[in-house]
Amino acid sequence: MKISDFNLRHLRAASSIGHLGSISAAAQAIHISQPALTQGLAKLESMLDQPLFERRTDGMVATEAGRLFFPRIETALIHIVSPRVTMTQLRALIALADAGSYAAASNATGLAQPSLHRAVGDLSVALKRNLVERRGKGVALTEQGRRTARRFRLARAELEAGLSELAALQGRETGRITIGAMPLSRARILPAAVAAFHRDNPDVAINIIEGAFHELIEPLRDGDIDLMIGAMRAPSPGPDVAQQPLFDDHPAVIGRKGHPALSDQPSLENLAKYSWIIPATGTPLRDGWASMFDKLSIPLPQVPIDCGSVITIRQILIESDFLTLLSPDQVAVELEAGWLVKITNIPEGYTRKIGVTTRTEWRPTAMQEKFLTILKAISKAT
């Protein structure tokens, strides 16, 4: 089933029954008649194909499925905030935020444009917020609209995690793990972890999104990415983000085979005479590179090219006298083939901490926890 199949009132009702232990108490608390609440719960359990409660003479007791699913429902409802929000409205705002226009949102969802307009308009009234504004001939989300869309995405992520847990309870290891892969993670640890995980969990889909930190951090905060792997940031990106170290990476100075720097003493003073290709200012590698020279009061070398793409960097290195700072793992094939060489190691103390970045409040499913366990084990063996 899909998240859009849920009725938020039914989810709220089930959560309330779980808290209060009876249908009558829940009906009174959320202002729904007992017959309507009973009917909604029956429909929800039918959709999930498993009971959420044991019906007893002394009340309603959550089954194992209920104990798994209710915390996910409760967190999702906290993100949604208002009991007046419907699933249609939630879906419409996320679609508009993702697509950027009503026409594109209609194509993506199959919903008619008038229906999307009406859903977003009704949502603005329900929340008493201006969510959309006109910009020329188009529309854009307001700041309140962007914040609301983020909360709705996080609610969707919680419900998707809940469905994954319920499927696992029925012996179906389904679901999806979405990983944000920063450059260094792609060299060795992520491929090894994914391969090991997939061998034991072939029915779990793994979606890997490659990008730099600044390209991945907002999708992580939106709930579109479950975890990021790569160089950790110092200071932390914010209180809503948690970082767990995996291992220390030791970059080296890399150049082409036969580079003229090989005939000199490979000191930083001599290496500063050459042009470098380095990721943009603000990345851990660039900051560490700059601090090496600054500490010895050596003027920074010229950096005619800012680049974080290993594929691009290695090709430029092969065809020029540029130097770069990379982990040998990232160019292991080129080093083994003799196209590139390690000019020298960098001074002690200039390392990058490679780790996992998640949302602070993220609660991994058992499947996601299993992947993290494999990732950490492989990292320790690095």
Mean predicted confidence (pLDDT) in 89-99: 94
Would you say 356 and 243 are in contact if contact means Cβ atoms under 8 Å apart? yes
Mean predicted confidence (pLDDT) in 200-207: 91
For the stretch 288-306, pLDDT in tens is 899 999 999 999 999 999 9
- Examine the fold and report which residue of 149, 171, 193 is the final residue of a domain before the chain moves on: 171
pLDDT tier at 171, thresholds 50, 70, 90:
confident
C-beta neighbour count of 81 within 10 angstroms: 13
Regarding whether 260 and 321 lie in a shared domain, the answer is: yes
Res. 241: pLDDT tops 80: yes
Share of the chain above pLDDT 90, in %: 70
For the stretch 174-188, pLDDT in tens is 778 999 998 878 778
* Global confidence as pTM: 0.84
Per-residue burial over 127-158, b = 16 or more CB atoms within 10 Å of its CB, e = otherwise: bebebbeeeeeebebeebbeebbbbbbbbbbb
Regarding whether 112 and 92 lie in a shared domain, the answer is: yes
User: Domain count of the chain?
Assistant: 3
What is the span of the domain harbouring residue 204? 173-248+354-380
Regarding whether 370 and 221 lie in a shared domain, the answer is: yes
For the stretch 325-334, pLDDT in tens is 998 988 989 9
pLDDT tier at 265, thresholds 50, 70, 90:
confident
Res. 203: pLDDT tops 90: no
pLDDT tier at 236, thresholds 50, 70, 90:
confident
DSSP assignments along 145-174, one per residue: HHHHHHHHHHHHHHHHHHHHHHHHHTT---
Regarding whether 165 and 189 lie in a shared domain, the answer is: no
pLDDT tier at 234, thresholds 50, 70, 90:
confident
How far apart CA 78 and CA 209 sit, in angstroms, is 28
Assigned token pair, 35: 């017959």
- Examine the fold and report which residue of 137, 154, 171 is the final residue of a domain before the chain moves on: 171
Half-sphere exposure of 254 (CA within 13 A, CB side): 27
How far apart CA 346 and CA 318 sit, in angstroms, is 21
How far apart CA 320 and CA 255 sit, in angstroms, is 9
pLDDT tier at 59, thresholds 50, 70, 90:
confident
CA 71 from chain center: how many Å?
21
Regarding whether 235 and 130 lie in a shared domain, the answer is: no
Regarding whether 308 and 180 lie in a shared domain, the answer is: no
Higher pLDDT, 186 or 378: 378
pLDDT at residue 30, as a whole number? 87
- Examine the fold and report which residue of 171, 197, 213 is the final residue of a domain before the chain moves on: 171
For the stretch 334-351, pLDDT in tens is 999 999 999 999 887 778
Res. 195: pLDDT tops 90: yes
Mean predicted confidence (pLDDT) in 298-324: 94
Largest CA distance in the chain: 87
Res. 189: pLDDT tops 80: yes
Regarding whether 121 and 238 lie in a shared domain, the answer is: no
Regarding whether 237 and 255 lie in a shared domain, the answer is: no
Q: In what order do the strands lie in the sheet with 205-210?
A: 205-210, 176-181, 227-231, 352-359, 241-249
Res. 318: pLDDT tops 80: yes
Regarding whether 6 and 146 lie in a shared domain, the answer is: yes
The residues, any chain, with a CB within 8 Å of residue 248's CB and separated by 6 or more, are 351, 352, 353, 354
Closest CA to 339 of 277, 275, 255, 276: 255
How far apart CA 361 and CA 241 sit, in angstroms, is 8
The CATH number for 332's domain is 3.40.190.10
Q: Which has the minimum average pLDDT: 59-73, 82-96, 118-132, 280-294?
A: 280-294
The CATH number for 162's domain is 1.10.10.10
pLDDT at residue 266, as a whole number? 83
Regarding whether 126 and 39 lie in a shared domain, the answer is: yes
Higher pLDDT, 75 or 169: 75
Regarding whether 267 and 323 lie in a shared domain, the answer is: yes
Regarding whether 275 and 210 lie in a shared domain, the answer is: no
For the stretch 95-125, pLDDT in tens is 999 998 999 999 988 889 999 999 999 999 9
- 3-class SS at 68? helix
pLDDT tier at 368, thresholds 50, 70, 90:
very high
Res. 137: pLDDT tops 90: no
